[in-house]
Amino acid sequence: MTPAVVNCTMRCVFCWRVQPDDVGVQWNEVKMELWDNPEFIVEECFRAQQKILSGYKVHKLLDKTKYIEAQSPKHVAISLAGEPTLYPRLGDLVQEFHKREMTTFIVSNGTSPEALKKLDEEPTQLYVSVCAPDEETFRHVCRPQIPGAWNKLNKTLELLKSFKCPTVIRLTLVKQKNMKNVEKYAKLIEKANPTYVEPKGFVFVGLSRLRLSFDNMPTHNEVREFAEKISELTGYRLLDESLESRVVLLSRLEKAIKLHPHSL
């Protein structure tokens, strides 16, 4: 879910979601007084979950136990269907989910370090997308819509070390676009010192098909080779991988075990 649906500070070429340029419109900035309150958002999330599942109720192969469990999810990804840090009460939203004993995962593009810095309650885990090794690539691949976005991303990376919760740098890798300059990616990772690094391949789905081609989609082997180079330069070790998702998980092993002893 996102509290800032479709609103974003960037227009990444690999994003599968609709962007203003795709449909010839312009998003308007939301005024402070028009934002929904956290309690309402959480309630509507549950309502939407139940509505999505309602059609399964009459299926002859339905597992009734799983159906009942699915009515009350335990995890929430506050994610990039819109940049969540644009929502002015993000900390309150995290707190509201935690009141329901849910785990929370904030996924950000890193262009609002001030919003992350003032979070009065940390999520269970914080993801930051890093999709370019340098500013020039960043401008072409992420297409920032605000001034100073590259500097803001770097400030966010510097900020990650101050978080007590596990942190993740996710690299969305697009063939022929940003799978280069591994040494520069390594320096960004060292700056942030995250718990995990997650190199993940771009997938040719959704509205990204208007901006990229099938040839921009790396194979899992190519993603793994890139991850291995990152590993060599940073000391982050390969913990796991998913062939179907074209993703590899890296960490400095001792730190990962200490934080998540049951995750390996």
Domain residue ranges in the chain? 36-46+74-259
Q: In the predicted model, what is the mean pLDDT of the chain?
A: 92
232-238: long-range pairs with CB below 8 Å, 24+: 233/182, 233/183, 233/186, 234/186, 234/189, 234/190, 234/197, 236/189, 236/197
What is the structure's pLDDT at 64? 92
Average pLDDT over residues 55-69: 92
Interval 130-160: pLDDT, tens: 999 999 999 999 999 999 999 999 999 999 9
The residues pairing with 82 across neighbouring beta strands, listed in sequence order, are none
What is the structure's pLDDT at 262? 43
What is the structure's pLDDT at 264? 41
Q: What share of the chain has pLDDT > 90, as a percent?
A: 82
Q: Is the domain covering 36-46+74-259 a CATH 3.40.50.720 domain?
A: no
| 197 and 229 Cβ atoms separated by less than 8 Å | no
Does position 26 have pLDDT exceeding 80, yes or no? Answer: no
In the block, which residue shows the tokens 């997308």? Answer: 129
What is the structure's pLDDT at 172? 97
Whole-angstrom Cα distance, residue 175 to residue 215? 7
Could you give the 3-state DSSP secondary structure of residue 191?
helix
Does position 257 have pLDDT exceeding 80, yes or no? Answer: no
What is the structure's pLDDT at 11? 93
pTM of the model: 0.89
